[in-house]
Amino acid sequence: MDSEFDSGTAELMRANERNWDARTPIHAASQFYGVDGTTPAESWFAPFEWDDLGPLANRDLVHLQCHLGVETIAFARRGARTVGLDFSGQAVEHARRIAARHGVEVDYVKSDVYDAVTALGARRFDIVYTAKGSLCYLPDLDRWAAVLADLLKPGGLAYIVEFHPILTSFGPKPDPDQQELLLRHDYLQGRGAVEHNSTHTYTDGPALPSDATAVYEWAHGLGEVVTALIGAGLTITRLRETEQLPWPRFERMVRDEQTGWWQLPPTDARVPLLYALAATKPNE
Ligand SMILES: C[S@@+](CC[C@H](N)C(=O)[O-])C[C@H]1O[C@@H](n2cnc3c(N)ncnc32)[C@H](O)[C@@H]1O
C-alpha cells in the first residue's frame, strides 16, 4: 500500500484483504451472486441508479471496490469504457474470468482504493461508481473523497450507492423467536474499527479458512460521507434514501414483486435502508 496509514490501521486493512481473498472464490461459486448467469447483473441496481447515471455509451467509468464485477459488467454492456478496481487479487482474477465468460470487455486493476490515482496513472473518468457494502471497509473518508475528486474529469460524476448507516445500526433481538429490530450498533464513527469474526461469509458455501475469518469495519454516518465529499471540492447534486434492498438483510423482510427488491413489512416504521449520493466535480 502506498497510502500511509498508521501501522495498526494498515494491519487491519491487510486482514480485510486476506478476508476478501478468502471470501471471493466462495462468492464466485455462490447462488447469492449467481455469476453463472442465474442472477442478471441488472438485478443489483435500483431503477433510479440508471436515471442518475444517465447514458453510459462512450463514457469513461471506474467502479471502485468492484469485487466480482457483478455491477461492473452492466456498465460495460451499456457502452461505457469500464475499469473495475479492487485490492483483492482473488476478486480481480475472478472478475476477469466472469467478464470473459460473459463476453464483456472490462479492464480490472488490483489496487487499494487509497492508491487508485497512482494505480490508474493518467486515466481520468466521467463517472466514479462505488456501491453496496464498500465504505464500511474504509477507515478515512476524507482521504477517500480526495481520491474520487482526483479520479474525476472536470464536470465528472461521483455516484455512491450504499447501505444506509441506520441499516447497519439495526440488529434483530438476540432472542431468535423475536425478529424485532433494535438499534444495536454505532451509527456514527468515533470508536474506531469494529471486528467481525465469522466462520462463514454472507453467501452460501463452505467455511472460511481459520486465518481469514476476521474483518474490520468502520461506521460512517451520512453526515460524514456528505461532508467528506464537500471537503474534497465536489458539489452534491442528489441524495436519495430508499427503504428497499437487493437482498433480504433480515429474515422478516418481504419482497416487492414490482422491483424484485426487499423491504421491511408494512407494519414496521418506514426507515431508509439504502442511500444514493450524486456529487459532481466543478468544471475548471
Ligand atoms: C461487498 S464488496 C463490494 C460491493 C459490491 N457491490 C458487491 O457486493 O459485490 C466489498 C469489496 O471491497 C473491497 N475492498 C475492501 N477494502 C478495500 C480497499 N481498501 N481498497 C480496495 N478494495 C477494497 C473488497 O475486496 C471487496 O471486493
Domains in the chain, ordered, with CATH? 7-280 (3.40.50.150)
The model's confidence at residue 173, banded by pLDDT at 50, 70 and 90, is confident
In this prediction, residue 36 carries a pLDDT of: 84
What span, in angstroms and rounded, lies between the C-alpha atoms of 83 and 12? 26
Does 39 have pLDDT greater than 70? Answer: yes
The model's confidence at residue 3, banded by pLDDT at 50, 70 and 90, is low
Q: What residue ranges in 134-257 does DSSP mark as E strands?
A: 152-163, 170-172, 181-183, 194-197, 214-217, 235-242, 254-255
Cα maximum dimension of the chain? 58
pTM of this structure: 0.96
Tell me if 133 CB under 6 Å of ligand 1: yes
Residue 260 carries which DSSP code? -
With the most atoms of ligand 1 within 8 angstroms of its CB, the residue from 87, 98, 160, 216 to mutate is 87
74 and 99 Cβ atoms separated by less than 8 Å: no
Which of 146-160, 173-187, 189-203: highest mean pLDDT?
146-160
92 and 108 Cβ atoms separated by less than 8 Å: yes
Tell me if 116 CB under 6 Å of ligand 1: no
Average pLDDT over residues 266-277: 94
* pLDDT tens column, 212-262: 999 999 999 999 999 999 999 999 999 999 999 998 988 889 999 998 999
C-alpha atoms less than 13 angstroms from C-alpha of 122 in its C-beta half-sphere: 0
With the most atoms of ligand 1 within 8 angstroms of its CB, the residue from 65, 73, 220 to mutate is 65
The ligand 1 atom nearest the CA atom of 27: 9
The model's confidence at residue 176, banded by pLDDT at 50, 70 and 90, is low
Residue type at 96? R
* Adjacent-strand bridge partners of 279: 158, 236
Average pLDDT over residues 16-39: 93
* pLDDT tens column, 57-114: 999 999 999 999 999 999 999 999 999 999 999 999 999 999 999 999 999 999 999 9
The ligand 1 atom nearest the CA atom of 133: 1
In this prediction, residue 174 carries a pLDDT of: 72
Tell me if 130 CB under 6 Å of ligand 1: no
Q: Which of 210, 141, 136 is nearest to 167 (CA)?
A: 136
CA 137 to centroid of ligand 1, rounded, Å: 7
